Chain A
């Protein structure tokens, strides 16, 4: 081969920005992928959990004797078997409960030979409860004499966050317009296609192997250990293919230690797999929030201040949900230039479901408020002072080099370009005026257009001691590359991105890069898939490792060819002359020559990339992400003013992505992210009545279906982020964040009605229109 191409020249071709196929896509499409849900281990037992099914009660007694007697049952456990084990963000949760604080509470668990036997055994457990008065709203939780949910927190107050900047009183005086509204964001849940699952297996040395859907395998060990009373070092996490996470697996939840405790007790592998109804009731939700938001503005259209007072239903336990103010406040202080900021967030324990992290992380909630306030101001400024709605936004849009009151440093900021690109592409201003004028007609169907935007961290978020990621990379004798990365793959596509980056640096085909990232005993540390960080952080890590490998190879090749290393390059599986691409030697041959010599030179490199961001800190004044990004969505809707149905026809999206890496993956993230926001905006809602979930099924919890998806016109703005890999920024959350307020603004444009309490269901919209007509006549 090498002889034939001896005179060949290989051009430099970049893969960055091209479309790379996700390596596991065909297997997933034809149903060949073996998800964790499909896994069976030899001698495996099946576990089921008995949930309380009542919101607040004392457990007077539990009798498990009948269940234990059932043939095929190997173990039955209750809280008394695990008295001191704790889990959760403030360690207020336990694998099994001695007192019931919410409907899902885990009261007992059974391991048996089959799921059916385990289910039958649950029915034989006799629990006597003494129901207690419950708390079902944060307001009620704060009342004098309210029932106490968590003994450690007698005032029911959970986490609190504050950030203040500037003189609010003065800013109010300086304002010509002050908006003051309450936005009330509802409960939704992730609805992963793969329901929650864990398989736990202890070896004879007391080491636990847990097959998990977790999206943060390394800190997961630290969080799981106290729930088991073992050392985190004795936990190995294996991550088989998972059917979605979206934040739902960013914490340890009780079913995981329960599986492990049962495995410990029985000496057998134990699997817990939720059915869909269990999944609805027992997985985390998005954090609901009541947001009292005020925004001030001068008549020239300059923002003067923003304040937000956020009340959150903590539910019975504290997972990631009530920490979302950390991100909310960055939006309050940074989504458009806001000189004066006053943010307060308080979470209150109740007997409701509890929230975890969820794509968008507080920003879905807060942007629903801020982006509507911007729209309301734009309308007022146009009506009263003739200011153009786009000019108003551009006037307040942040620019490169600006630092927000919380010290987010916007090094490369393409917000203004996002606004103008989306506005021009959709003919926003003309349509806005046209539809406003058409509002007064008697037509049944009304059109509307709405613009919304937001900011989000796009280079991780340093809320842990490190926001880094480790990478180990080897290139073998056949020029095949193995990358062992800390970064998890939960469907988002880091597998394709890392292969692409390594292929870019080492000049090998994408298919020749193998990713190993599903075993915590192999992989180096990473903080997890969250905060839109993985392409940014793990991508940087993979790139740096590949560059090291490349240096090593080129140094050896240069020595052999008697040139300097910078005269050489790696392209198309060859070492070539950099200047004209003339082939020097085939790469695999070069690698074998390096390997098989008296002093072997084998390519095995490693890297730990730590982004240049600052720790969040207690006062929340820090440049907590290595990059920030903006997105603008413009939604065009048709509202059936009779039935209240809102059809989103088209969405124009403009997002600062830094630089496109894998175009196909990026487009998929835009589409998928938008679908999440669409459901949140229009149809998805968990309906609770006194802590009881009334719609735990896809029949009554309405996720969008394929025909709901609008036409998308996607514009990637490339701001070229200095710290990001090839200039890229993190991108995955903004598409979910921005769409709902864009729809709300469009519905307003169509109907003249504001919806501060999503989802905008047909009934809610129809009722509001009917109500408006009635009060008008």
Chain B
């Protein structure tokens, strides 16, 4: 902990990015991943600790054209109770309500959840279902540069992403879902509160004339990164959700998942939950 030489809390994005460009910076948002990881020695602080919570506008949630934009330092609580999100993407609110506890939700940011890149990061799952992209900002040649990366390409391994060290996650953006969109999220752990997902699953798509379309399936804690369930999506795309189709989807979901044994659960149990949740969420879709 004593390695921090400078602490700064910029108020503008420019200042933050300029600092970041200098190198050896640790970004601090809610600190709910960072601090425990540092205290158990899994990572170290760089010379400069930069608190990004005071950057103006970075926690804003807004509609821009047909896109919904959630600022990188918006907290899980901000998202949970935001009118726009409740109206257009209740799936995110539902996920937020299963996230940690009140105290943690008030501190934990969406940017932190994504950049921490845990295979069990809960908010990532509904964002994958919504087809979100991340917007990365950097200070390049004296100006703010941004680039967008689809979230399903962003993760490269546990704790690893395509973000460069001079980039800040400025926002996560997704197209406003159509009126026909239905989406559900499910996570599991032995406790009703404060639980890291043993398995999490999200399913969403448009239900048009009884057929499930533009289906996206996302899974957490069943692989090295949060992942898209491509085979499950294929099994469902354009289909009526009959018993047979659901059975196919359940089998496909178990193909998509590649869990391992760890102290929280065995591979068997994770696979079992993938099957249970897939069926359960598809049943919810049918009920909707």
Contact = CB atoms under 8 A, between A and B. Distances in A.
A253 B84 CA distance: 56
A643 B193 CA distance: 16
Interface in A685-737: 687, 694-695, 697, 699-700, 702, 704-708
A154 B1 CA distance: 45
Secondary structure dominating the interface of A: loop
A770 interface: yes
A491 interface: no
A687 B264 CA distance: 10
Contacts of A699: 36, 196
A705 B188 contact: no
A275 B41 CA distance: 14
A496 B273 CA distance: 49
Interface residues of B, number: 25
Contact of B276 (A642, A695, A702, A705): A642
Interface in B231-288: 263-266, 268-269, 272-273, 276, 280
B40 interface: yes
Nearest to A761: B190
Contact of A763 (B2, B36, B265): B265
Interface string B133-148: 0000000000000000
Contacts of A697: 40
Contacts of B265: 763
A277 interface: yes
Secondary structure dominating the interface of B: loop
Given A642-B276, A682-B190, A762-B188, A767 B269 contact: yes
B5 interface: no
Contacts of A767: 268-269, 272
Interface string B190-204: 111110101000000
Most buried by B among A704, A762, A763, A767: A763
B196 A643 contact: no
B263 A763 contact: no
B269 A763 contact: yes
Contacts of A706: 193
Interface in B156-196: 188-194, 196
Contacts of A396: none
Nearest to A642: B276
Contact of B192 (A116, A705, A763): A705
A210 interface: no
A770 to B, nearest CB: 7
A766 interface: yes
A116 B193 contact: no
A704 B39 CA distance: 24
Contact of A702 (B1, B191, B269, B280): B191
A766 B272 contact: yes
Contacts of A175: none
B31 to A, nearest CB: 16
A683 B190 contact: yes
A770 B192 contact: no
Most buried by B among A643, A695, A770: A643
Nearest to B196: A699
Interface in A740-777: 761-763, 766-767, 770
Contacts of A682: 190
Nearest to B193: A705
A277 B36 CA distance: 11
B191 A763 contact: no
Contacts of B2: 116
Nearest to A640: B276
B191 A708 contact: yes
Contacts of B272: 766-767, 770
A687 B263 contact: yes
A700 B192 contact: no
Most buried by B among A275, A645, A699, A762: A762
Nearest to A707: B192
B188 A700 contact: no
20 contacts: A116-B1, A277-B40, A643-B273, A682-B190, A683-B191, A687-B263, A697-B40, A699-B196, A700-B263, A702-B191, A704-B191, A705-B192, A705-B193, A707-B191, A708-B191, A708-B192, A762-B190, A763-B265, A763-B266, A770-B272
Interface of B: 1-2, 36, 39-40, 101, 188-194, 196, 198, 263-266, 268-269, 272-273, 276, 280
Given A116-B1, A643-B273, A700-B264, 19 more contacts: A277-B40, A642-B276, A645-B190, A694-B263, A695-B263, A702-B191, A705-B101, A705-B191, A705-B192, A705-B193, A705-B194, A707-B192, A707-B193, A708-B191, A762-B189, A762-B190, A763-B198, A763-B266, A767-B269
Closest 9 CB pairs of A and B: A705-B193, A707-B192, A763-B269, A642-B276, A683-B190, A707-B193, A762-B190, A694-B263, A705-B194
